Structure 1
Amino acid sequence: MASHPLPSSLTPTRVAALAAGGASLVAALLVLLVARNLVFATSFLAAGLVIGGVIIAWRTLAPQPKPVDREIDWDFTRAIAEASADAVAVTDRAGRLVCANDAYEAMFAGFPTPPGLPLSDAGIGALGQAGRTAWRDGSASVTGLSTGTARLIAEVARAGEDADMLVWRFAAVAEQDLAETTAELIAGEAGDRLGSAGVMAALVESDGRIRAGNRVLAARALVGDEPIAGHDFARLLITDSRGLVRFEREGLDGSPLRVVQMPLVQGDRSPVLVALLDDTDTAPAIGASASAHVRSLVSLMPFGMALVDREGRFLQMNDSFVRAASVDPANPPLYPGDLVVREDKAAVGDAIRRFAGGATHSTDMAVRLKGHPEEPVALTIAGARGLGDASVLLSLKDNSEESRLKREVAQATKMQAVGQLAGGVAHDFNNILTAIMGHCDLMMMRHSPGDSDYDDIQQIRINSNRAASLTRQLLAFSRQQTLRPQILQLPDVVAEVSNLLKRLMGETVKLDVNHGRALGAIRADPGQLEQVVVNLAVNARDAMLSAHPTRGGILTIQTKSVSAAEVRAMKSDILPIADYTALVVSDTGTGIPADILPKIFEPFFTTKEVGKGTGLGLSTVYGIVKQSGGWIFADSKPGPGPDQGATFSIYFPVHASGAAVRIAAPPRHAAKPADMWGTGTILLVEDEDMVRAVAERALTRQGYTVLTAENGEAALELLETSGRPDLLISDVVMPMMDGPTMVRQVRKAYPDLPVIFMSGYAEEQLRKSIDIDAVAFLPKPFSVAQLAAAARDMLAPS
């Protein structure tokens, strides 16, 4: 039954009034007919009207209930959307995104509002039209969308009680691996059927290698039963003077071939299906036919080639040329000059016009491409004849790998030079610090903690120790630090430093330590490994707190075993294939930008504010790891999120033999000052006056008789008059005669004379040039107590 709306003048109240009046009138007429009493009927009518009026007044004056606003539980809606494996989003009438699931965020790298998604212009237009259709018809769909990594199909539907929302659903379209299927068909019975029809077929990879071929092709192109897969396709063919293509095995007497190529799928590295047919047409192949053959071969070349016509416009570019020149396939250049920077356009244009006009031979030019102008590339230009419209042949070498290697070599050379400089600076600085720390020790011997000058002297010594720490960092970066390696286990090192890390991280940064199983022992300095862990942890803490000052983050330290098979699977050009024990330190900070990542191990490079970092933390880590025979790699995914942040992976070679030892705790009680006293004569040889003076005073205060000399020759002259000393303490690097040369001369007269070498250079560097047995080494800067302890140990009876 059809229903009709009431007129606007008849409200529900008015309808009720009319109904009440009509009912009262009918009832009064019935009373009049039955009772035959006009007065009674009139009274009945009046009572009915009064009652109806009361009802109408109550209906009019009674408060009407307000309509209840409809509320949507978006948490429930999102939970339902999460149950779908597809990407789902909801937009309102105003076009605003009001809900989306995690699959939508992963597919489109965030929450863009449809139809403004990261698609092509055509895809965005088709999606917008689908949205308008869905508003009108209730639903719509779009196919053929592509995000660059996947093909999509979209469905749009109108929804909601008031039909005021659109639901967008995006599903990835599973594509069949056409290349693999084609390869199986060509190598199987389908390829044999093609061969029986006279078609020789091959699937050729982007590098020009044959992935699969049918039997008739192998029989024509190769000798014997050798498989054709893996052969360079271009090397199987030759071209005669008329441009006819033949098999290289058959020579110029073989049947001419017609080459047809059919790209299977789009992409720079996609394979191409190539068919070869015997060309029974014996007419000369000069002109368009030859040009077609040459273009087919050019497209298969593994190096960058392009054809240019007489007007200087591109006719063809193969895939290698597109990659080498960083050409945008959606917007290819019209002229070769469009590829290079403005300064090189004129030179390229002149060369092409010259060869298009008939110039012979070829020329090489160094040009700078717009895509990467900082690295010049070699462009070869040659004239082309008998190729139809093509008159100039261009060749461009993809030297990105060569450029990368050049940059790495330059970086390594720079780091080596800076390391040598850092080692020299540290040596001179260590001499100065030795004098400062020595004089502080001597003054502190004359003052007690209650004296007014004691605190000032103590502060000078504290600052001197900080400076000494800086020189150790310089030596670690330059790989000239004195290491004392032990055979140990990485988890022991991490356990020793874990309590310190918990205090350093604070309350907002969580420390998560995971140890792998069956870890191989390594050989390294435990103290320096602790510094590596601390430096990486402090950097990670600063990165996380700068991004989230209140929330902090998670610092993860992991040790694991990496086998040689796993290293081989990495296909790394840097890490040698061997068994490793790895230390992985990762955080949940903002990560390291791609332009900064190659610079993080450089000395004095820091992204912190002025005054908040020396820039030596990571360079020190790099130096310690390399000096320990390990490898360190940094990886980062900048941006917020649990999977972002920086990850440092350190690989230490597994020690081949020997058992791992636990790190011994330092002694609880240091040697008492009284233990430093001794007797005997010491010959002190040092070219730095300030170091010689403080060392002489320190040893004299400990009870020794000290003879001094400023160089090796003066020491030999002094020995001729003074006789044999009980101990010889000498600097290593001195003018005129150095320490090792002087000691060799002294040992000829006194073979068992104990010797202590002291130097601001690293012991390991000096050991390479010192071939003297039974000598001790005291690195600068040293304190008075350390000098006295070294002398006491050398003079103590064995």
Structure 2
Amino acid sequence: MKFSHCSLVMVVLIILSVAFGVLAEETISSSAPETADQELLQPLPSIIDLGDQNTPARRHHAENQNKPASADAQVICWRQIGLLLAAIFALSALVAGWIFHLHRRITEANRNLREREETFRALSEGSQDVIMRLDRQGRYLYINPIVEKQTGIPAPEFIGKTFEELGFPADLCALWERTLREVVTAKAVRRVEFRLRTGVWIDCLVRPEFDPAGEVKAVIAAARDITERKQAEKERARLEGQLLQAMKMEAVGRLAGGVAHDFNNLLTSIIGNVQLALLDLHPGEPLAGTIGEIGKAADSAVSLTRQLLGFSRKQHIEPRVLDLNELIANLEKILIRLIGEDVALRVIPGKKLGAVKADQGQFEQILVNLAINARDAMPEGGRLLIETANIDLDEEYCRRHTQLQPGKYVVLAVSDSGQGMSEEVKRHLFEPFFTTKPIGQGTGLGLATIYGAVMQAGGAIEVYSEVGDGTTFKIYLPRLGEEAKRKETEAGALNMAAGKEAVLIVEDEELVRGLAIKALSRLGYRVLQAADGQQALAMAEHHEGRIDLLLTDVVMPGMNGKQLAERLRRTHPETKVIFTSGYTENTITHQGVIEPGLHFIGKPYTPQVLAKIVHEVLLDGKATDSSAYAGKENYRN
């Protein structure tokens, strides 16, 4: 009831009280007996003090002195009773109004409190963060229900207990106790991260709760599940590591390619001059044997530079459609001899395996290198498993393996039961010259070469290994729709074909240029020479007659070989061109593959290989890839 309603009731009660007194007076005046006992009523005027003599009550009393005593006394009595009742009713109304007002205030306060409690409960129980309140000793006073999802412990079991009493690990209890002590003593906010036994990572913000005196009476904490964030940070660190590794490998690859280029120039001269010297010697002469040993050493160096070029992805390749099952079957006997009798080889070919496009020689070398590494990892024998399969990689998988793109692949897996590798070894696994083998038992280029070959084929390689649990290499190659074709058998022996055509040799490396001049001059060709592109153009301008062939290095200062060929053909359209280089450049290749219609001879080359390709090009033969022969055949007489 509102206070205004109480006031209205009070007024009504006063009016009723006055009316009651007037009605009583009229009734008494008309019917009261004259002989009433005056003594009985005499005290009434003294009971109700009428105050000043000039008040209306006193005048009324004086005017009625002559009236009968009993009637006058009764009128006064009832009138005073009416006024007294009016005062009592008014006071009661005021008290009732105050009580009702107080009740309304209490009701509103209770309603507001319930609303705040409901709001807090909705926020707390609906929160995905754990909200908790603890006393100074670390006992839980309140905790919201979400805690069960993070810890596996229902919320009611927390109340009144400490971390230790709840059975949390000792190290976590020590961390939590130290954090609470710092919050209470320093009266400051603290943040702490920890991992629960369920594997959930928690980020907890702890702050003090103060009493009116400014002392810490409790601790409030909010804990958030940051497991996903931790996983994302770990994944980001892994991707950053992959990026740094790729950048490092790219830088080392450039270095390796440059070193191989310079070595190939030197080896071209060494091998070529050894071959020319042997042509002038009889096999039985003592000097022939000595020169032959020099040739063998040079051949070993050729193999080393080929591995460097393979790692740097600057090796000239012949990609074609391959069936990996057929390739493995052809190599199986060789692999068995390589790994020895104490290692059991098992091959599981994939059914209906798709074809891939790669260089056959490179992937034969990949299998051989992986088999040798597996053998060395199993000094006491073991098992070697080679598997192939078709596999489709989706976006989710490729997000975790950034070197791959979604699509259809053929996977080649080579697994051994050897010693396995540590994380530190795996981080450096594909770096050139990195090896865990004893000195003299490995160059450290085997896996680096594999890495370069796989990248050059548009694929990816992954390694799974733990110490004591063996190692698995997985090579992913894009799967093709076409079928593999068998490679035709190479032609027979190479011949030193003679000729009389004019050949312009452009080579900035003097040793290589001298070898080519000697080799072609012996065969009857008319040789012109230049050290760079500008000198070659000047010579061609003053040369009278045809220039049948241009043999030019690809990488030269000032003007590269392709630019030279284009400008020379403007004045000598009859000129055919053979490019040569220690490694392939994008000038005439795309990812190591020679552009269609171009002729290329890789360094180091022998006089026999040079003579063969020169002869074929001058006869308008098909483009011949001489790099397949360079360093692979022995042309000594």
Q: Which amino acid aligns with 1:599?
A: H
| SS of 1:331 mapped into structure 2 | helix
Pick from 561, 567, 582 the counterpart of residue 739 of structure 1.
561
Are 1:471 and 2:305 an aligned pair?
yes
Q: Which amino acid aligns with 2:125?
A: V
* TM-score when normalising by structure 2: 0.65
| SS of 1:606 mapped into structure 2 | coil
Pick from 749, 758, 777 the counterpart of residue 600 of structure 2.
777
CA distance in 1, matches of 2:124, 2:183: 33
Name the structure 1 match of 2:318. 484
Greater relative CO (CA pairs within 8 A, separation 6+):
2
Are 1:609 and 2:438 an aligned pair?
yes
Shift of 1:702: 1.7
Matches within 5 A, 1:116-127: none
Distance 1:332 1:780, change over 3 A: same
Matches within 5 A, 1:54-93: none
Are 1:647 and 2:472 an aligned pair?
yes
Q: Is the 8 A contact 2:588 2:594 kept in 1?
A: no
Q: Is the 8 A contact 1:420 1:478 kept in 2?
A: yes
Q: Is the 8 A contact 1:755 1:774 kept in 2?
A: no
Pick from 574, 579, 589 the counterpart of residue 418 of structure 2.
589
Q: Which amino acid aligns with 2:526?
A: T
CA distance in 1, matches of 2:176, 2:288: 77
Q: Which amino acid aligns with 1:655?
A: L
Name the structure 2 match of 1:661. 485
CA distance in 1, matches of 2:129, 2:221: 27
Size of the aligned set, in residue pairs, is 476
Shift of 1:621: 1.0
| SS of 1:761 mapped into structure 2 | coil
Name the structure 1 match of 2:583. 761
Q: Is the 8 A contact 1:488 1:663 kept in 2?
A: no
Structure 2, unaligned runs of 5 or more = 1-113, 152-161, 196-202, 211-215, 622-637
Distance 1:617 1:698, change over 3 A: same
CA distance in 1, matches of 2:429, 2:473: 11
Name the structure 2 match of 1:403. 237
Name the structure 2 match of 1:558. 387
Structure 1, unaligned runs of 5 or more = 1-241, 247-251, 262-271, 277-284, 303-314, 318-327, 339-348, 371-378
Shift of 1:438: 1.2
Are 1:631 and 2:469 an aligned pair?
no
Q: Is the 8 A contact 2:257 2:312 kept in 1?
A: yes
CA distance in 2, matches of 1:722, 1:762: 31
Name the structure 1 match of 2:99. none
| SS of 2:488 mapped into structure 1 | coil
| SS of 2:366 mapped into structure 1 | helix
Distance 1:581 1:335, change over 3 A: closer
Name the structure 1 match of 2:536. 715
CA distance in 2, matches of 1:300, 1:714: 80
Distance 1:256 1:526, change over 3 A: closer
| SS of 2:256 mapped into structure 1 | helix
Matches within 5 A, 1:495-514: 495-514=329-348
Q: Which amino acid aligns with 1:664?
A: E
Distance 1:296 1:652, change over 3 A: same
Name the structure 2 match of 1:444. 278
CA distance in 1, matches of 2:504, 2:449: 36
Name the structure 2 match of 1:786. 609
CA distance in 2, matches of 1:257, 1:759: 73
CA distance in 1, matches of 2:174, 2:346: 57
Q: Which amino acid aligns with 2:513?
A: R
CA distance in 1, matches of 2:343, 2:549: 53
| SS of 2:377 mapped into structure 1 | helix
Q: Is the 8 A contact 2:207 2:219 kept in 1?
A: no
Q: Is the 8 A contact 2:207 2:220 kept in 1?
A: yes
Shift of 1:388: 6.4
Identity value in percent: 37
Matches within 5 A, 1:41-60: none
Matches within 5 A, 1:420-435: 420-435=254-269
| SS of 1:605 mapped into structure 2 | coil
CA distance in 1, matches of 2:415, 2:281: 48
Are 1:619 and 2:448 an aligned pair?
yes
| SS of 1:453 mapped into structure 2 | helix
Shift of 1:468: 1.2
| SS of 2:125 mapped into structure 1 | strand
Name the structure 2 match of 1:259. 125
Shift of 1:498: 2.1
Which protein has the bigger helix share?
2
| SS of 1:586 mapped into structure 2 | strand
Q: Is the 8 A contact 2:320 2:357 kept in 1?
A: yes
Spell out, residue by residue over 1:115-151, the C-alpha distance to the aligned partner (whole angstroms, 9 max, x if none): xxxxxxxxxxxxxxxxxxxxxxxxxxxxxxxxxxxxx
Distance 1:709 1:554, change over 3 A: same
Shift of 1:356: 7.8
Q: Is the 8 A contact 1:356 1:391 kept in 2?
A: no
Q: Which amino acid aligns with 1:654?
A: R
